[in-house]
Amino acid sequence: MNAPFLIIETGSPVAPLRRHRGFGHWIRVAAGLRGHEAASCHVEQGEALPTAEGWAGVIVSGSSAMVSERLAWSERTADWLRRAHEQGVPLLGICYGHQLIAHAFGGRVDYHPAGREMGTVEMTPLEAASQDPLMRGLPQRFRAQMSHLQSVIEPPPGAVLLARSEHEPHGAFRLGGQTWGVQFHPEFSAGHMRGYILARQPALVQEGRSPAAMLQGVSAAPIARRVLRRFCAHARGAGSQRPG
């Protein structure tokens, strides 16, 4: 039997969307994994992380927390991710997870100087993407769902930048051969994205944004989801080559 994936849940969906379960479920379904092929650990709620050994790969979710707050559970998770990376465990960070991996390896995370990025946005793969297991062969532009206030302001040393949006220059990166971060949410459907915009309406209006226009701009993002599924396929292949 294939080893399962570990999904590290660093937060929960906005309240109106919790009827659709948590990030662990959203990620598992979007990744095409069956129930027995993934396990979740909700570190924000105090669950202790298991050993890094024995997992096909690890996916770190988004969160409403901020990496720059350096909360105790977040810093413990960053330490765990460094050890897992050293052991060659494939890692993928999504949104907060992307930022947490950057922070764990010496990058700088803080509030984006231009403010919030939210909605369905266009991502542009960079030159290095053509040689990347998750990004190669993607269209010159592809849609992705975004919802973040903080960003990777300075990537960690040695990071290979893979994609950007107009707002976010560090939209995806790889460290070594088995660790990735993506600022976008490959697990979000168009319905999830609309739910987030609706939940953030008061803040968006206060920021001078138009929730109605943002809702109108939401569309499906199948290429972004493909990146998540490619990670799982790559991790399965990498796992078959690890000793043990």
Q: Within a domain: residue 44?
A: yes
Instruction: From the candidates 85, 95, 168, 170, give the one annotated as an active-site residue.
Output: 95
pLDDT at position 243, please?
A: 43
* Prediction pTM value: 0.96
Residue 95 annotated among the catalytic residues of the structure: yes
Q: Within a domain: residue 50?
A: yes
Please give the residue range of the domain that contains residue 49. Answer: 5-239
pLDDT at position 239, please?
A: 53
Q: Within a domain: residue 26?
A: yes
Could you tell me the maximum CA-CA distance found in the chain, to the nearest angstrom? 55
Question: Domain of 19: which CATH number?
Answer: 3.40.50.880
Contact residues for 171 (Cβ-Cβ < 8 A; gap 6+): 123, 144, 162, 163, 164, 165, 182, 183, 184
Q: Within a domain: residue 233?
A: yes
Instruction: From the candidates 187, 192, 232, 234, give the one annotated as an active-site residue.
Output: 187
Q: Within a domain: residue 49?
A: yes
Residue 36 annotated among the catalytic residues of the structure: no
Q: Within a domain: residue 45?
A: yes
Please state whether beta strands 108-111 and 142-148 pair in parallel, antiparallel, or not at all (unpaired): unpaired
pLDDT at position 241, please?
A: 55
pLDDT at position 1, please?
A: 61
Q: Within a domain: residue 130?
A: yes
Into how many domains does the chain fold? 1
Treating both helix axes as pointing N-terminal to C-terminal, what angle do 23-30 and 222-239 enclose, rounded to 10 degrees?
80
Residue 185 annotated among the catalytic residues of the structure: yes
pLDDT at position 170, please?
A: 98
Q: Within a domain: residue 109?
A: yes
Instruction: From the candidates 185, 192, 232, 234, give the one annotated as an active-site residue.
Output: 185
Q: What is the mean pLDDT of each run of 10 residues along the chain (244 residues)?
A: 93 95 97 96 97 96 98 98 97 98 98 97 98 97 98 98 98 97 98 98 97 97 98 84 48
